[in-house]
Amino acid sequence: MEDVMIMNEIEATVSIDDEDVHQEDSMDFDTGFGNIIVVDNLAVVPLENFRKLEVVIRKIYYQIGVIKDDGLWMPIDPKTQKTLGYCLIEYNTPQEAELVRGKTHGYRLDKYHIFAVNMFDDFVIVNGNGV
């Protein structure tokens, strides 16, 4: 039992430095969306075919990387109730998203749909204020 430190010994080894706390408060964190890709040139389908298209997209993209939970978003036009021909896919890291982009940009889904895949951050950089 001699190897076990008592509370006074533990407290004596602890160094509290408020400057560390202030430095953490002022740290800049990457707030970009580098782990998100935009897949364009998808089929525009009505709501009844939404699930089928989603399954096809997941099958293609799960082969290359792990899509985050709730990481696939395919918007629908409220007026036409059809998809808009693109989706956003979120991965765990920017590196994984870059790999997926590189492997699927130009992917031919069928005769009429060839994927154009870009990093979400590329849209922000082009406009400067967002998409």
Rg (CA), the chain: 23
Tell me: pLDDT of 87 over 90.
yes
Burial degree of 113 (CB within 10 A; 0-12, 13-18, 19+): middle
pTM passes above 0.85: no
Q: Which one-letter DSSP state was computed for residue 27?
A: P
CB atoms within 10 A of CB 16: 6
Higher pLDDT, 16 or 77: 77
pLDDT at 108 over 70: yes
| Class of residue 125 by CB neighbours under 10 A (exposed 0-12, middle 13-18, buried 19+) | exposed
Domains of the chain from N-terminus onward: 36-123 (3.30.70.330)
Residue pLDDT, tens place only, 13-62: 655 555 554 554 444 445 578 899 999 999 999 999 999 999 999 999 99
Give mean pLDDT, residues 106-124: 91
Q: Which residue has the higher pLDDT, 90 or 12?
A: 90
